[in-house]
Structure 1
């Protein structure tokens, strides 16, 4: 202990608070805990890549609560409403109206994103990367979600080889995901 600190302690004074060290300590704690408190404060939650259907890890919503039928009907993402929900494949799906909900419940394999919402370009490479509801395309009357704009564009230019390879790899990759 330095002479100044020893003198301060003997006089009953408290050690000087250092805000810079406190910030470093908090950041270190955050990193060691996975950054959860930083990620949860106002930022968009990232999709999990350990489930068979990509869901928001905090809300349990599939495709971040967007209506999967809106991609077919309106050709754009539309946020679903809590009043029109269905549980399918271990995930909560939201819809803009009762008709969309009923159609999805009758045919989730048609209207749900292919490969559980995982990026088919990455699946073709043997990697599971959760798709985003903002990067999407409908090809062959099926909805595909992508993790990045680049993979969506590559897929849109020539979907056949990606679908073929992703379809071959999906069963073994799906088996590795949580149930």
Structure 2
């Protein structure tokens, strides 16, 4: 996105501390370090959100997540500081949100004010949420004026746009 959209700034949050060197090296390799930033935090929403979370790092980074599963000997638990979404909204105004927070999306959606956001791209894990959780995610988006963009949604990655934005297109 940074290469194709002039003046865009990207702020990313990655809970797995082992990935930060590779992410920063990729930004540097592509000459994007001045407009892309990554922080080793987890974004949370709600008054009761914790100041830190447990994050379970697996040897295969694709399996790292915020919850442990039984019989995972290759998992290392690390504490990750959190950033309140309300603070983030003020410090880094944005209208697009991309989320892949490994099973914590629903907790985030229950409490986050997305009134300034026009577009959300989110990975939702059906095996984590099952049918009731997936329906609650849909309701959370609908309650904030979003509708599913079926054309740009594939498998477990969903695109939600503000209703008035789709009507204007």
Question: What TM-score, normalized to structure 1?
Answer: 0.23
When the two structures are superposed, what TM-score results if normalisation uses the length of structure 2?
0.24
Q: Which has the higher helix share?
A: 1
Q: Counting strand residues as a fraction of each chain, which structure ranks higher? A: 2
Larger Rg over CA atoms = 1
